[in-house]
Structure 1
Amino acid sequence: TDSTPVKLTWGMYQGETLMSPTRGLFGRTMREELIVPLMNERHLELSNFAARYPTDEDEPPVDESTQAFASLRAYLLLAGDLRDYKSIGSDLEDQGKIQKEDAWLANQLTLWWSGALLVDGESDSYGKMDTMSKEYVKVLRERPELEIELDEKMVEDVRKVLRRSDRTEAALAELIRAAGETDGVKDVTLTTMKLGTNVYKNSGIRVRGAFTRQGWEKYTRAELAKPQGEFVGDEWVLGLTEAEAEARQMEDRLRLRSRYFDQYIKEWDQFVAKIYVDAESDLVGSLKMFQDLARGGTPLRVLLTNVRWHTTLEEEAREPGDVPWYSVDKLPPEVRKQVEAKTAEGAKAFYVNKDVKDYFTPFVGFGVADDDPGNPDDGPPQATGSLQIDAYAEQLNAVRDGLQAAIDDREELGNLAKKIKVATNVVKSQVSEQQEPWRTRFDNILRPPFDAVRGVVEGEGSKGVGGSWCTSVYQPWQEQIARKYPFNPKGYDLPLSDFTAWFGPDQGPVWDFYNNVLAGNIQRNGNSFSIVDKGKAVTVSYNAGLPGFLTEVADGGSVMFPPGSKDPKFEFEVQIDGTPGVSEITLTVDGAKVSYRNGPQIWQAMTWPGTEGDPGASIKAKGQGRNGDVTRSGDWGFWRLLGEATVSGSAGQQVYSIKWDLSDQQVGIITIRLRPKRGETPLFGVPTRGTSKYLGLFANMRVPRSVVSGYSCQSENDGGGGE
């Protein structure tokens, strides 16, 4: 039956008619017909939450713990007022805390009530619901007999789970959102850096506004420096004393600060790691490329200057002797110990602003002096200085001039070849002097222009390898793969047999070409690849983007083909949440069904692809007068269905909350929990690769047009699958 109590629909009528007899009658009626049914649902939700994460090793996803925290907070406030859970004085400030909690409770009741009926927050009905909720909380405080009965065991079970829940990621997400909405804070891309050339690419990777100098100075610096006491307030929900609450909040704020600087480094590191040179494969194109690279003190110097400026994060100036609360040396020993204990093994417990600058110093030091004059126009300083980059610029200028001479007079090709040889040796020497991981990054940035023009001049050596790549991998990929789902989210389904032919264990055109042609020059370590440095013996220069592509293909295969499986397989368990007003929810994957009818929640195993019915997947919900569904057919129907949902999380997470918004079908939010059997999943990819876009494992995969410098594949229509 429909789980919505009949009188939940009261919000559609005039509140005055319900409240007219007496306030007591109003309170009793609201309690029995609205509050008790609502809290019975929350009691079941909280009990299930505690049961899902029974051991100290079980940590709930952030969105689940946030929802459970709100439900427990409301449950406790309906069983008593704030004074029952924490010491409250009689002064105005403490009385204000009680009023704040009661106002929050009234708002939460309105949200649950209106959500159950899918009432628009701007409608008159919503306003009436809000008025009645506020009035009920007032009556509740006047009449303690209206308080609900407290299930102390359930409360303690939920508190145990919430106390071990790490709220750092949720706080970081909110910090990123708020910083991004601050005036004057924008994302950074290669385009916004105004390098003066489009030779440098990085697959559209951007740095979010929160991790820019403007984001730091205009928002996050002040937010992260606020005394932790400003954030203490609702820890009473966890059953903590005032002292315990302050210690926990200090730990949370310290972890947030450290996590912010850690992510700042990762954000810029990923941005830099993806930079490559889009090299040309003819003399005229090469001349334009070198003209761009040598222009105005070199775009590379501008790039390095931008990175230095954005990674130099200064704290607010303080009076002499004024040590901030977050200074590691000032922390209480027990707090420091707790933070270090909760830090992953091998990770740093306390990242600070200086760590960001120090991390990138080996990179930017190639072309930027170790100072930061600042800029009155709120931007990076002008690129200046005399460093390693000047020797690099000399070689750019020499080859540029040689190219111009060779285009004007083909007799000059010999002189050009000599200049390229000298330049290549100089650049190789510069690259070899760098420390990892910067050696690899500089190799991707510094060498490709010279390797490419050498390939153009020397010609034949690269044509055989490059041409073979085009016919064996690039063209077949474009014809068979690039326009099909999951590589193109809007394309037709790629047959699973074709997917297996490309990504199955130790098979497919990519691995055939690798084993036959590339293995001697591109070394493999697990699923990671790198170009072998053969020094002066090298005769062909390989595209710096090739190792990354091979890694993506290898990751795709290992994710979709578990050890020992010759066919794609994704094994997982699901648990379905109840939804107000819905009596039955069913998830179907290739004929296999899992249903939930508002009873006990259990994990149920499923596998994709399934064998029990036609290919395709759906999520369906039904109740009294309400029916909603999302259905996607075909071999990849399950993944298209997941693509319609919102999912928060990251690679390697134990449990993912997946939500479909069926409000347009008068059903509301449908939530399932998905627990993968393996850490590597198509949801977010491979954990060791860092942040990854949801379902982006294949949608972001691009086959390189060029495998060797000096030769590029041609295609009339790439369909978004090559670069």
Structure 2
Amino acid sequence: LENEASRDFPTPLELARSSGPAFSTVFTRLDSYGEPLAEDVPSAEDPLSIPALLTREGLEKWFLRESGSVTELALIDAWVLGRRDDVDFSKADEAELLASLQTLYAEHYAEAWRTALSRLDIHRFEDLNHGVRILDSLTSGHQPLARLLAQVRENTRLIPVGEGEAEAARKLLEQSPHYRMLQDIERQFSDLNQLTRKQGEEPSGLEEVMLVVGELHEYMRNIQESPDTGKAALSAARARMGLQGADPIFTLQRMAGHQPEPLNRILNRLATESWRVVLDSAVAQLERDWYREVYQPFQQNLARHYPFTQGAGRDAALQDFERFFAPDGILETFYNDNLKLFLEDHPEHVGDARRASLVRRDVVAALDRARQIRQAFFTRSGTLDVEFALEPLNLSNNKRRSVVNIDGQLVEFSHGPSQSIPLVWPNTLRDTVESRVTLVPIQVNRSPRSISESGPWALFRLLGKADITGVSSNAVDVKFTVDDGEMRYRLHAASNTNPFTEQLLSGYRIPRSLY
């Protein structure tokens, strides 16, 4: 039957071509693994190509007419092959074989259309502009989706509906041995075909869907046509995640859940792709803002100076350090205003756009380390203030006295009892401050010897010359060697994040890009 039909009906129904000129702009074909196929796929390999025998025309003009003779031939074949003892075929024999043939044909028919619909999807949006072009075509007068569903309806709604001639034809068909086969085919596509059915003045299901698609189109086009597309996309993304204003993306996703295949998948794809390119545009804007507002200030004022670059001759100004890292400073303000919504408040929306992460891992690491820097160096009110205590432990026997001067705060020790002295850093914001360790020899005719550092980060430079041993999470032992003598102190940090044990600043970098 297939061989004879292919001779009389050699031309398959190509759904893509017959769905209008906008179809290929909107839809792509998928292979059996769900991957997009090339646009110029040969007709024989086109999953949207339906064999003519498995169309309404093939059904009515060929199968219904020829199935009887094919049944007779099949019965004769069965006798020739020895599967029957005689060539006398009863009506029951013919009816049984015809029923088997109808079942097989209905399975092939429905499978051909189901497969074609399953191998169809919306093109991946390359960017916001491409997405708008796809939505332009989808909502245009060419109506590719409506034309596609009209073809499905034409070829899978096979029993006449209505009054008058349609009713008479249906009653006649009910007497046909093919009626049950037609019902079997129809039933598998009834939900999809219901979409294009109108009742009175009420819009059809497809028309209601296209109203929401039109709202999405307008939403996307408003972003595209904004004087600054990136800022408009960022504003739209913030509004969507903050549940502010209309959200046609969510409306379409919710509507998709109530639609039959393949429309539910197509609508979900439209919503997901739209959100992805809006989010991509928003992140691209964030990238530009990050570079200008965060990366450049850090590079210009901090990155090349001590303590961020250990060997640097120049210290980072404390005012620049405070301006950048303080609570409500440059970095935290940018995070709270721009990134927190995506990374902390609504990370599920990033997942909805099928992005593994909004930002790179090294950005997340830099943000986490910046939080530690704030905890270690700043009070809750935002003041640069490191409280700690210095406890003298022991002085070598060849020295009789030690003096530590930290930004003008003195800690003196001679052999004997000691106490922990509370100190603060910085004690002044002047750039000319000094930190010094002085050991006084036991010989009265020898001068004291010192090691010192000057500048706003003098204390940390001085600690860099010491041997430091961790004692606990908030305490370290610090040993200075001066003029063949040694002095050991215990340094207690008031903060849980110890700026003296954690290498928080050395080598700290702000990544140039977010993603």
Return the TM-score normalized by structure 2: 0.42
Higher strand share: 2
Question: Which of 1 and 2 has greater Rg?
Answer: 2
